[in-house]
Amino acid sequence: MLGAVHPTIPDSLTFAVSAAVILSGAVGVIVSRNAVHAALSLVATLFGVAVLFIEEQADFLAVVQIIVYAGAIVVLFLFVIMFLGVDRRENVADEPLRGQRPTALLLVAIALGGVVALGVSAHWATGARAVAGSTTAGHHANVYVLGKSVFTTYLFAFEATAALLVIAVVGAVVLARRPRMEESAGLTGDEPVADEPDGDPAEPDAADGSPTHEEVSR
């Protein structure tokens, strides 16, 4: 399967187009003045990576990449950008720290050179047997093999990610809440009943939420 040295024309074409989309999208992310444009460039990159996943027979991951990344994460980014009203242009040419960009370029060039040098010189691919199962065990579909591996060999890690997701959701809710009840009570001169967590949380939210929104959306 991997023996052929020369890739076929469709494969090469797919790779070339995807690589161009990925790299142009990535460059678009870091040079866009507008955060919304950066998010849309990110979608292009994620989509190109998904195409390459299909090209490498990782069908399930390609679909998940589209759904989770392009469908959920980027939408979350766009939601936060528009919610916070930061979709105004930003002066990219302005350099707050002098010499930061040349230094960053130098460091990144060193890192890339190190990675390429290691990749060329090291021989880490030992050709050892697969421990998690072959990608095409018994000519099963990719989803079958991946699911079997996730729910047997990596079951504990899978359950740990479930706990991680719950913790992340709770953490996000805690972070996104209004700062503090006594603070808002002090600001708005509300009665101390507002300190009670479930005693009509909508009213103090609206009370100190409106100036924040006005200030942010300007």
Partner 1 sequence: MSVPGQWYLILAAALFTIGALGLLIRRNVLVMFMCIELMLNAANLTFVTFSRMLGDIGGQVVVFFVLVVAAAEVVVGLGIVVAIFRRRANASADDLHVLKG
List, in order, residues 6 or more apart from 208 with CB less than 8 Å away: 178, 184, 187, 188
Q: Find the shortest distance in angstroms from Cβ 78 to partner 1.
A: 10
- Between residue 104 and residue 163, which ones bind partner 1 under the rule CB under 8 A? 104-105, 107-108, 111-112, 115-116, 119, 125, 127, 130-137, 142, 145-146, 149-150, 153-154, 157-158, 161
Position of tokens 């979709």? 87
Q: Which is nearer to partner 1, 151 or 199 (CB)?
A: 151
How does DSSP classify residue 8?
P
Q: Find the shortest distance in angstroms from Cβ 79 to partner 1.
A: 8
Please tell me whether residue 56 binds partner 1 under the rule CB under 8 A.
Answer: yes
What tokens were used for 201?
Answer: 């949380």
Decide if 28 contacts 38 (C-beta within 8 A): yes
Cα–Cα distance, 92 to 78 (Å, whole number): 20
Encoded one letter per residue, x for contact with partner 1 by CB under 8 A and - for no contact, window 180-199 reads: --------------------
Cα–Cα distance, 48 to 35 (Å, whole number): 20
- Residue from 17, 117, 159, 212 touching partner 1 (CB under 8 A): that is 212
Q: Find the shortest distance in angstroms from Cβ 121 to partner 1.
A: 14
Cα–Cα distance, 113 to 133 (Å, whole number): 33
- Residue from 9, 122, 175, 202 touching partner 1 (CB under 8 A): that is 175
Decide if 194 contacts 208 (C-beta within 8 A): no
By CB under 8 A, which span of 75-83, 184-192, 195-203 interacts with partner 1? 75-83
Please tell me whether residue 207 binds partner 1 under the rule CB under 8 A.
Answer: no
Please tell me whether residue 75 binds partner 1 under the rule CB under 8 A.
Answer: no
- Between residue 3 and residue 32, which ones bind partner 1 under the rule CB under 8 A? 4-5, 7-8, 11-12, 14-15, 19, 22-23, 26-27, 29-30, 32
What tokens were used for 32?
Answer: 């866009």
Phi-psi region of 200 (alpha: psi -120 to 50; beta: other; left: phi over 0): left
Q: Which is nearer to partner 1, 57 or 193 (CB)?
A: 57
